[in-house]
A = this chain, B = another copy of it.
Amino acid sequence: MNKRSGEESKRNIIAAAIQVFADYGYDNASMRMIAQAAGVSVGTLYLHFKNKDDLYLTITKEWIDDLNELTNRALDRIDDPRTAITVFITISIDYTREHREMILLQGRKFGRCLGLEQKQQFFRKRRQLLTDIVQRGVTEGVFRSDDPAETARIIFNVLRGFIFSMLIDEEALFRAEACVDLVLNGLRRRNNG
């Protein structure tokens, strides 16, 4: 019985769970696998988390907070819409590359999606951020867009596609710069357009 502090043990379990969930998906990851990966007994899992859902939600909540903060900090002092788009896309792609496990955030549990409310709010917030940037660009006359929200959704979906490609289809991954280039060009206002 290797005694640790409660918090230490909890972090340890979370780290293990992230790996296992990411490797096998929510459904195929069993509590036994997670326990094994964390080097603890199954019972210990339930000492720190009410159940499998709770463990999963704790993890996703961390990511959401993490990404929110990272994004906010990065966009904090950026006024130029072109730079803002560049930063948003680059951060998203980089973060996804570094945290392949983040796919879990997108995780669907078909019937009832686990923590759906929380996630949708997060997605909504990110799309709003993009919408604001595009809108600003339009106002400033550097972007062209009939419908900034629609444009934001499209950009958002490239990034969502990237997340899944990370997991199921690495050949489909692209460089952030290439994406920025295409998008900025697509948004660009032109005289003879």
Q: A179-B154, A186-B182, A190-B190 are in contact. Are A169 and B120 (CB under 8 A)?
A: yes
Which interface residue of A146, A160, A171 has the most chain B CB atoms within 10 A?
Answer: A160
A157 touches which of B27, B111, B150, B158 (Cβ 8 Å): B158
- CB proximity of A152 to chain B, nearest CB, Å: 9
Size class of the A contact interface (CB-based, 8 Å): 35 or more
**Taking the full assembly, how many copies of this chain does it contain?**
4
Contact (Cβ within 8 A) A157 B153: no
Partner of A28, one of B109, B171, B178, B185: B109
- Cβ 8 A contact of A150, one of B110, B150, B174: B174
Q: Which of A144-159 contact B (CB under 8 A)?
A: 144, 146-147, 150-151, 153-154, 156-159
Q: Are B161 and A113 in contact (CB under 8 A)?
A: no
Residue A172 lies at the interface, judged by CB distance under 8 Å to chain B: yes
B residues within 8 A CB of A171? 120, 123-124, 127
Alpha-carbon distance A113/B151, docked complex (angstroms): 33
Query: Which secondary structure dominates chain A's binding surface?
Result: helix
Verify if A74 is at the interface (C-beta below 8 Å from B).
no
Among A22, A123, A168, A179, which residue has the most Cβ atoms of chain B within 10 A?
A168
Q: Which residues of B contact A97 (CB under 8 A)?
A: none
Q: Which residues of A contact B (CB under 8 A)?
A: 22-25, 27-28, 106, 108-111, 113, 116, 119-120, 123-124, 127, 144, 146-147, 150-151, 153-154, 156-162, 164-165, 167-169, 171-175, 178-179, 181-188, 190, 193
